[in-house]
Amino acid sequence: MTLSNSGRDQPIRAPATAQATESNSQWQQQAAQESKGTPPPPLSKDGLTVKPLYGAGDLPPETDSAVPGVYPYTRGIRATMYRGRPWTIRQYAGFSTAEESNKFYRANLKAGQKGLSVAFDLPTHRGYDSDHPRVEGDVGKAGVAIDTVEDMQRLFDGIPLGDISVSMTMNGAVIPTLAFFIVAGERQGVPQNQLTGTIQNDILKEFMVRNTYIYPPAPSMRIIGDIIAYTATHMPKFNSLSISGYHMSEAGATVVQELAYTIADGLAYVDAAMARGLAIDDFAPRLSFFFGIGMNFFAEIAKLRAARQLWAVAMKARGAKDARSWMLRTHCQTSGVSLTEQDAWNNILRTTIEGMAAVLGGTQSLHTNSFDEAVALPTPFSARIARNTQLVLQHEAGLCDVVDPLGGSYYVEALTKQIADEATSLIAEVDEHGGMAAAIEAGIPKMRIEQTAAARQAAMEQGETVVVGVNKYANDSEEQKYDILSIDNTAVRQQQVSQIEAVKQQRNATAVQAGLEQLEATASSEARGSDAGDNLLHAAVVCARAGATLGEISLALEKVFGRHTASTRPIAGVYGSKRAHDPEFQETQAAVAAFADRYGRQPRMLVAKLGQDGHDRGARLIASSFADLGFHVDVGPLFATPDELVRRALDGDVHVVGISSQAAGHMTLVPQVIEGLRAAEAGDIFVVVGGVIPRDDYDALYEAGVGAVFGPATNICLAAREVLKGIEKGLNAGVQA
């Protein structure tokens, strides 16, 4: 039966809810028949409840009216999205010296990259010059070393800063780094108001997960406020803050945790800026975001859609009137933690899937990881594949043809709402604790993320989570080898030290000293503004023009603010509870108990980080899981020197030292630890190393005296048994001696 409608016959339609109920009933019957029982139940994935079927009844009420480019921007911040302009291909890179990184940047720009994203080495992040004694093993290893304005000039030599957008991942030493960038632009003839790009400047997440902080939370928030104020006045095209969830994702956060804590961080910065008198619409349009994209394909798409919605609603509620203040603009990077050392070519597929998720979610720019980044910095070969992955997606896959092609999808729309609702609940929990700064101080986000990371490790080891080539479908044939980028840390450091000395000889020492004294006075001042005398970035630019080094500027602030020290207490019980009924876990736990019976005490382990590598997910996971297995575990402080680590091992009377490395300092620093133990007549202490360790480095570490090396995705129970054997071998050798 049909009814006439403006001369066209249309079928009579039942109400949507009735249709959905009828369709669901039909599916239930068919699914039960096919499975000869009950239909497949919902499952839990990344903390989300996922049903086996979605229909019209699962759509949020506002779905039909939602369009791209319109508040709350769930479907995209621009009406035309990639039909108007594709996302920016922005590869995160930096290594060795400024000259070497510059060559890499120029080659990538020539090959189709549209913007630069700078990775700095760890000494730069932590506010140390390359000649500082604490950074011997870190210079140039996990990013480019920048000590002076001259280094920044060399980094962008031949790259017009007035035309190229530059993103800088910098948080701790953000004041000198941005000051150097401003002065480098001036020396190119580009005024501040013409510079485009982004400085990350997101310190709250550093206290949660990444740890490349320098100063305590309160003065760190002062720094962020000063940068927001300065750039709002002097750099209208530059993004003063990129609120980052990426490092939370890498530390083990679920999509909901990453989204909630990232939005909460952003709101904390907005509230802080408004509290010092800044009008929200004067700075909010230049805030941006940075999310990680993992292998939960549809959840990652929904996460970005939910992020735009949550931010728009929150900013409007805070009184923003400018539509640009409501728009969440984001950069995305594919996951590093999803990459595997085993069967590494599979990583190309993983990165492609993650890149597609970022694009379908509506990112504004994207970095795709190289397949070899599970063990080292990318080579030009692997970086070309990663960049070309984006070019293929952009030009061959048809992803730019339709704006938000998944809009209206029963599953994606329902998932977007679920993620938004659960993130809202987590944000409410943060608010109940007095806001994000207070929640971080109480350790709540860090604890929740670490619990998730431990549970994920247990799920992977038990095969509940399949990782192709690691715990299922392993490649039994000989692994195909690929080149690894190796940085000569000693040579890089020597070059940087020589260049620092040259700058100091040529500069006006009186002008430098006057600038640094003014910077200290500004840090001590209670005034807050964007001009000389009351703004830290303004004072630092004066220092940079005079020739002050990054370390000198950072130290001037440290004299006033102090240097932050983090808690090292690990979580307990999560890994053990997840594997409690697993025979492998029970056998390992029994072996540890048997050791304690034989030797009269538990095996004692010191878990340590060396140098300026603050990435501690692996170290904290090992500490908590080994404790659950029955080890007595001491967690050393971050940023230890080899001498400090040796002293702690001796004071703790440990059997084993486990060193976690993710930033390639192991080749320099680990041998120094072993030499220190031998010099103290404690050479029987078993030393093991784990983390991002290229296999080409294994033999050298063994020759230096390392007892075992554990690469990415190592089974913790198997590693614990190997550690027990190594301890017993050392103890027996001591008895025989």
Residue written as tokens 């941006």?
288
Going by the DSSP 8-state scheme, the letter that residue 208 receives in this structure is: I
8 A C-beta contact, residue 143 and residue 105: no
Collapsing DSSP states into helix, strand and coil, what is residue 67? Answer: coil
The residues, ordered by sequence, that sit 6+ positions from 506 with a Cβ below 8 Å of its Cβ are 547
Please confirm, yes or no, whether 367 is among the known catalytic residues: no
Cα distance between residue 93 and residue 119, in whole Å: 5
Cα distance between residue 472 and residue 451, in whole Å: 24
Which of 663, 690, 688, 695 minimizes the C-alpha distance to 673?
A: 688
8 A C-beta contact, residue 660 and residue 672: no
8 A C-beta contact, residue 126 and residue 549: no
Which of 659, 683, 678, 655 minimizes the C-alpha distance to 598?
A: 655
Going by the DSSP 8-state scheme, the letter that residue 10 receives in this structure is: E
Collapsing DSSP states into helix, strand and coil, what is residue 604? Answer: strand
Question: What angle, 0 to 180 degrees and rounded to 10, lies between the N-to-C axes of helices 617-629 and 444-461?
Answer: 70
8 A C-beta contact, residue 549 and residue 500: yes
Which listed residue (92, 128, 213, 230) is catalytic? 92
- Residue 112 has which token pair? 């189709």
Which listed residue (613, 628, 634, 697) is catalytic? 613
Please confirm, yes or no, whether 410 is among the known catalytic residues: no
Judged on CB neighbours under 10 Å (0-12, 13-18, 19+), 677 is buried
The residues, ordered by sequence, that sit 6+ positions from 57 with a Cβ below 8 Å of its Cβ are 16, 17, 20, 21, 24
The residues, ordered by sequence, that sit 6+ positions from 103 with a Cβ below 8 Å of its Cβ are none
Which of 232, 119, 127 minimizes the C-alpha distance to 555?
A: 127
Q: Determine the residue type at 401.
A: D
Please confirm, yes or no, whether 615 is among the known catalytic residues: yes
Which of 461, 442, 445, 448 minimizes the C-alpha distance to 625?
A: 461
8 A C-beta contact, residue 349 and residue 319: no
Cis ω before 72 (30° cut-off from 0):
yes
Cα distance between residue 233 and residue 236, in whole Å: 7
Which listed residue (246, 261, 269, 575) is catalytic? 246
Which listed residue (609, 616, 628, 655) is catalytic? 609
Q: Which residues pair with 707 in a beta bridge?
A: none
Please confirm, yes or no, whether 92 is among the known catalytic residues: yes
End-to-end CA gap in the chain = 98
- Residue 255 has which token pair? 């999509």
Which listed residue (132, 141, 234, 247) is catalytic? 247
Cα distance between residue 226 and residue 344, in whole Å: 44
Please confirm, yes or no, whether 538 is among the known catalytic residues: no
8 A C-beta contact, residue 379 and residue 485: yes
Cα distance between residue 642 and residue 689, in whole Å: 14
Which listed residue (615, 616, 634, 666) is catalytic? 615
* Strands 632-635, 686-691: pairing kind: unpaired
Please confirm, yes or no, whether 411 is among the known catalytic residues: no
Which residues are known to be catalytic? 92, 246-247, 609, 613, 615
